[in-house]
A and B are shown apart, each in its own frame.
Chain A
Amino acid sequence: KQEVTQIPAALSVPEGENLVLNCSFTDSAIYNLQWFRQDPGKGLTSLLLIQSSQREQTSGRLNASLDKSSGRSTLYIAASQPGDSATYLCAVEGGNTPLVFGKGTRLSVIA
C-alpha cells in the first residue's frame, strides 16, 4: 500500500529565503507525482506534475524534482514571498490507482 510522507509538517521562514519541501513515497511504481497548494478552507491548486519518466519540472520560482528509485521528491521555492504562505501537498498516482496524498507541509513566510 502506497504511503506518502511530507517533512517538515510546518515551516516558518523570513521573506526572500529559498526553501525546500520534502516528500517521500514507499512504492516506486508510480505513474506521476503532483505538488499542490492549498489555502485555508479552499480547494487544491496544481503547481507541478512530474511524469515517472521525468526528473524535474519548473514553473516560475518553483522547481520540483523526482527520484523514483529512492522514492523522493523535493519542491524548491526560490525567493519566498508572504503570498507563498499555504499548505503544500504532495501526491503520487499509480498506473491504476488514485492519487495518494501526504499530510502536507504548512508554510508561513514572514514579511
Chain B
Amino acid sequence: KAGVTQTPRYLIKTRGQQVTLSCSPISGHRSVSWYQQTPGQGLQFLFEYFSETQRNKGNFPGRFSGRQFSNSRSEMNVSTLELGDSALYLCASSQPGLAEGGTQYFGPGTRLLVL
C-alpha cells in the first residue's frame, strides 16, 4: 500500500506570493490533516478534512486555507506569504473506525522557504 505523498517536496517563494501544497492520502483513508512544523513552535495543527468537509481548524490566520476533493486528495493554500511561514508542512491521513483506531500516517512533508 502506497504511503502518504506530498508535492512539491521543496519550495522557495518570496514575501507576498501565494503557494499551494498537495497531499494524497493512503488509499481508503478519508481523513486528511495538515500541520506546520517550525523549530520554535514545534508541530501545530492547521486543519482537518473528512469527506470533503473541514472538520477542525487550528489557530492560524485566514491566509491559510485548504480543501479536500472527492478522491480524498487535499490541498492547502497560503496567500500573501510572510517570512514566518517558512516551515515544514506535514500532511497526515487516517481512517477513523479501523481496527488501528486513530493512527495517523504522515507524509514526508513540503519544506517551504519564504525569502
**Which residues from chain A sit less than 8 Å from chain B, CB to CB?**
31-32, 34, 36, 41-46, 49, 51, 89, 91, 93, 96-104
CB-defined interface of B30-70 with A at 8 Å, one 1/0 digit per residue?
Answer: 00010100000011010010000000101000000000000
- Check B17 for interface membership: any CB of A closer than 8 A: no
Given the contacts A98-B56, A99-B33, A103-B42, A41 and B106 also touching, CB distance less than 8 Å: no
Q: Which of A34, A46, A100, A104 has the most CB of B within 10 A?
A: A46
State A89–B92 Cα separation when bound (angstroms).
15
Tell whether, in the assembled complex, residue A43 and residue B90 are in contact, meaning their CB atoms are under 8 Å apart: yes
- Check B101 for interface membership: any CB of A closer than 8 A: yes
Q: Which of A91, A98, A99 has the most CB of B within 10 A?
A: A98
Tell whether, in the assembled complex, residue B45 and residue A100 are in contact, meaning their CB atoms are under 8 Å apart: yes
20 extra interchain contacts, Cβ-Cβ under 8 A, other than A42-B109, A49-B102, A100-B45? Answer: A31-B102, A34-B103, A36-B106, A41-B111, A42-B108, A43-B4, A43-B90, A43-B109, A44-B92, A46-B103, A46-B104, A49-B100, A49-B101, A49-B103, A51-B101, A89-B43, A98-B33, A98-B48, A99-B45, A99-B92
Contact residues in B for A32 (Cβ distance below 8 Å) = 101-102
State A57–B90 Cα separation when bound (angstroms).
26
Tell whether, in the assembled complex, residue B107 and residue A43 are in contact, meaning their CB atoms are under 8 Å apart: yes
Contact residues in A for B103 (Cβ distance below 8 Å) = 34, 46, 49
Given the contacts A43-B90, A43-B109, A99 and B101 also touching, CB distance less than 8 Å: no
B78 to chain A, nearest CB (A): 19
State A104–B56 Cα separation when bound (angstroms).
24
A46 to chain B, nearest CB (A): 5
State A44–B56 Cα separation when bound (angstroms).
21
Instruction: Specify which of A43, A49, A104 is in contact with B42 (CB 8 Å cutoff).
Output: A104
